[in-house]
Amino acid sequence: MPIIRFEDVSKIYRLPAGDVVALDHVSLTVEPGEFIAVMGPSGSGKSTLLNMMGCLDIPTSGRIYLSGQDISGLGDDALTRLRRDRIGFVFQSFNLIPLLSAVENVEFPIVLTTGRAESRRRAVEVLAAVGITESRFTHTPGELSGGQQQRVAIARALVNDPDLLLCDEPTGNLDSKTGTAIMDLLAGENREGKTIVMVTHDPNVAAYAHRTIRIVDGRLA
């Protein structure tokens, strides 16, 4: 069963200046274990595509299935829970919460449902797995380097063992060496079975993926 299935999905923003078609009748599937890169010019709709996959937005028309479940008509609460339990996000600008320490950032998604001790244990486990040394667990994002922050962000995305990992320009704010290290990490996760969909404009980064989806003007190219 595909992890993601888009069935004739369109997203139209109704603005006073005129309707903007972000996605235009897009149909696609993502199978478990795939590593997919989404590429396209600026404004092409790739971020919208990612947001839809990530239950952050719902289509204007068409259907989206997450592991067989129709998410097109779900309410905010249900979508939020899906995000928490089944999806992990990695953003270009890391987006860690500045006041929380590394380990607290990582445990955030699961502490919402699980007990304190259990969350902490799992968070520590994942942090170690992404290569953060123990001494840095209590550091706040401000005290970590860009690469370390992104690792923490990835750990946060992985902590609840999601079906799907969504990354929006994961190496955009990193230098090439660090970027490579991060991509290696992601590739490693994929080899272990994690499905990854990644938006990028960098062909070198896209090369890590199994296949590339191109999107132009809201349509698959």
By beta-carbon proximity to another protein, the closer residue of 107 and 206 is 107
Core vs surface per residue 29-50: b (16+ CB within 10 A) or e: ebeeebbbbbbbeeebbbbbbb
Choices 3-11, 31-39, 63-71, 106-114 (CB under 8 A): range interacting with another protein: 106-114
Kindly give, in sequence order, each residue whose CB lies less than 8 Å from that of residue 14, ignoring residues fewer than 6 positions away: none
Give the other-Cβ count within 10 Å of 65's Cβ. Answer: 17
Sequential DSSP letters for 166-196 = EEESTTTTS-HHHHHHHHHHHHHHHHTT-EE
Which 153-182 positions form the footprint of another protein (CB under 8 A)? Answer: 156-157, 160
Binding flag, residue 77, another protein (CB under 8 A): yes
Binding flag, residue 20, another protein (CB under 8 A): no
- Tell which one of 22, 26, 39, 89 touches another protein (CB under 8 A): 89
Question: Which stretches of 85-188 are assigned E, i.e. beta strand?
Answer: 87-90, 164-168
Measured from the CB of residue 171, what is the shortest distance to another protein in angstroms? Answer: 19
By beta-carbon proximity to another protein, the closer residue of 59 and 206 is 59
Measured from the CB of residue 109, what is the shortest distance to another protein in angstroms? Answer: 5
Residue 98: which of 142, 135, 153, 132 has the closest Cα? 142
**Please, which residues bridge with residue 26 across strands?**
9
By beta-carbon proximity to another protein, the closer residue of 46 and 206 is 46
Choices 8-16, 100-108, 184-192, 201-209 (CB under 8 A): range interacting with another protein: 100-108
H/E segment holding residue 107: helix 102-111
- Residues contacting another protein: total by CB under 8 A: 28
**Residues lying near another protein in the complex (CB under 8 A):** 51, 54, 56-57, 76-77, 80-81, 83-85, 89, 91, 95-100, 104, 108-109, 111-112, 116, 156-157, 160
